[in-house]
Amino acid sequence: MSAKQNLSLPRPRDLSVFCQLMGLALLFFPPRMCAESLEDAAHELAMKVCVAAHKQPVKVVWREAPQSSGYLSDRPKKVFLDQISACGMEAAENSDTPILTITIEVTPSKVLLIASSTQALSPQIYVIEVPRASLFVAKETAPAPQLKRELLWQQEKPIHSALEWRDPTAEERFLFLLGENLFMRFGFENGVWKWMDSAQFLPVGRRLRAGEASLFYSPAKGRVELVLNKKVCDLDLTQPFSYTCTGTEVLDRSTKLSSTCDESPRYLVTGKGDYTQTDRITLASAAASADEPLQGSLDVPGPVLDISVAENAKAAAAVVKNLSTGNYEVYRITAVCSN
């Protein structure tokens, strides 16, 4: 089997013809190599392409059939790209470069990883197969993220929102709290949080309603902001503290939390009880259905009043009113591997 220098695919209108050709090619050139994981398959496939193809830049296109959606993650893609790059075939986005299509197909017993390039009626196809059973075992034994909590702060006076923040310039850690009408700043020193300063952000005597004010980190702006009456307020964290409300609706506040063992996006979700009941914080995927069991959860000693995710998305600050003590508590919430 020889490789052609021109690896371009047929135009979209010829896709059905291309698929028929691919099917015929697979009949005459059955897969001869078997891998135990998609990462191994990606490496073996890259080696096949490297041996047969010219050392030239290629545009790699990834395709998944509907039934194979979710199999091809970023990890095997990176393995494939790293290997062809090591062979002298750099991945490029230039429309003039030859196209190399990587397709994943799923059958009842196996997963096929296919590299294809065509010119006229001479298809160049390289195939590696992975038994589906080995993928299922790997999936079942993979560590699932679990939630962990750590008490950061507690006090008798109400806390409406909290946020941990690391100053990227000074590399200092801070804890911000919103009380009834005070913004409070604490610094981390000798293993404990120490009060630094506070400033009034509402008129004296003005009481906040539940959910009226909260702190959040805006990834789009790269800064800590305040939400007041569902409007975004820019914070000036220099002394003295001040804020200016822009009048725009908050758009990018998210409870997305990264875990140490799972690349899939996960979001923190609280229970649906009222403020007289204990609560539970759980991890949910973006595509989770209402009946799907959640992978990680933890109970807290009262209702969750607010959750704010830190700037690195690796930790969140949850404000809880402890129903047993009456205190307001701030917990650091992280997603860690269960094993």
Residue 7's pLDDT is what? 36
Residue 269 has pLDDT above 50, yes or no: yes
Instruction: Tokens for 28, please give them.
Output: 């005459």
CB within 8 Å of 184: residues ≥ 6 apart: 176, 177, 178, 195, 197, 198
pLDDT single digits (tens) 46-60: 888 887 767 778 888
Cβ atoms 57, 91 nearer than 8 A: yes
* Single-letter residue type at 22: M
Q: What pLDDT does residue 328 have?
A: 97
pLDDT of residue 70: 62
Residue 21 has pLDDT above 90, yes or no: no
Residue 335 has pLDDT above 80, yes or no: yes
* Residue 310 neighbours by CB distance under 10 Å: 20
Residue 120: beta bridge partners?
none
- Which value, in Å, is the radius of gyration of the alpha carbons in the chain? 27
Does 207 score more than 90 pLDDT? Answer: no
CA 242 to the chain's CA centroid? 33
For residues 137-155, average pLDDT: 76
Annotated domain spans of the chain? 12-141, 145-337
pLDDT at 72 over 70: yes
Pick the residue with more confidence: 138 or 102? 102
93-114 exposure pattern, b = at least 16 Cβ within 10 A, e = fewer: eeeebbbbbbbbbbeeebbbbb
Q: What is the mean pLDDT of the chain?
A: 78
Q: Does the pLDDT of residue 254 top 90, yes or no?
A: no
Task: Considering only residues 49 and 208, tell me which one the structure prediction assigns the higher pLDDT.
Answer: 49
Could you tell me which residue, 323 or 227, shows the higher pLDDT? 323
Q: Confidence class of residue 293 from pLDDT cuts 50, 70 and 90?
A: very low
- Whether the CB-CB separation of 37 and 135 falls below 8 Å is answered with yes
> In this structure, what token pair is assigned to residue 202?
């509402």
pLDDT at 59: 85
Averaged pLDDT for residues 152-171? 90
